[in-house]
Structure 1
Amino acid sequence: MITHIVFFKLKDRSKASVDATAAVLRNLEGKIDVLRYIEVGTDVLHSERSYDIALVTRFDSLADLDAYQVHPEHKKVIEHMSQVRESSVSVDYES
């Protein structure tokens, strides 16, 4: 199994903006057959080093992660995120 985690820092860090973007990410659930697990969390500490949203997804293989990356539903999310994110970091690992 491959776990893919992304942290997002948004340009607009207001609760309304964070909640709206988290909803966009959660909307992926059930729309991409290779996506085995999705969890979206929003930061509760709001510290200087905090990111606003965490996305945790799981796939059966690297090939499935690759298929997810180019899926039309994921591309819609990428388009949204490119408009609202200030920065992001990610890690992918075998689990």
Structure 2
Amino acid sequence: MILNHVLLKLKDRRPEHIEQAQTVLLGLRGKINVLLDVQAEANVRPGPSAYDLILITKFASLEDMDEYLIHPAHQEVARWMGTVLETQASVCCSI
């Protein structure tokens, strides 16, 4: 099982923009068959060095994750996120 954690910091960090990004990310649920689970959680302890959201995605294998990354639904969300994102960091782990 593969878990990918992506920390996201938005350009505009107002709560309504964070909520909009969270909604967009959660919109992937049910659209990509290799995506076993998706969570998008807002940071409850914001600050200058904190990230705004964590995206956690779950896959059966790295190959499934690679398939997800090129899926049109993911590509559409990634393009939109690119317009609102300041920076990101990720950790991918096997469980």
Q: TM-score normalised by the shorter chain: which range applies? A: over 0.9
What CA distance in whole angstroms lies between the structure 2 residues aligned with 1:48 and 1:21? 19
The answer for unaligned runs of 5 or more in structure 1 is none
RMSD: 0.6
What residue in structure 2 maps to residue 7 of structure 1? 7
Mapping of residues 1-95 of structure 1, within 5 Å: 1-95=1-95
Report how many aligned residue pairs link the two structures.
95
Runs of 4+ in 1 over 4 A off after TM superposition: none
- Aligned amino acid, residue 90 of structure 1: S
What is the Cα deviation at residue 69 of structure 1? 0.3
**Percent of pairs identical after alignment?**
38
What is the Cα deviation at residue 47 of structure 1? 2.0
SS at 1:35's partner residue? Answer: coil
Residues 37-75 of structure 1, C-alpha deviation per residue, up to 9 Å, x if partnerless?
Answer: 111100111122210010001100000000000000000
What CA distance in whole angstroms lies between the structure 1 residues aligned with 2:15 and 2:26? 16
What is the Cα deviation at residue 2 of structure 1? 0.5
What is the Cα deviation at residue 28 of structure 1? 0.3
What CA distance in whole angstroms lies between the structure 2 residues aligned with 1:20 and 1:77? 12
What CA distance in whole angstroms lies between the structure 1 residues aligned with 2:68 and 2:51? 23
TM-score (norm 1): 0.98
SS at 1:30's partner residue? Answer: coil
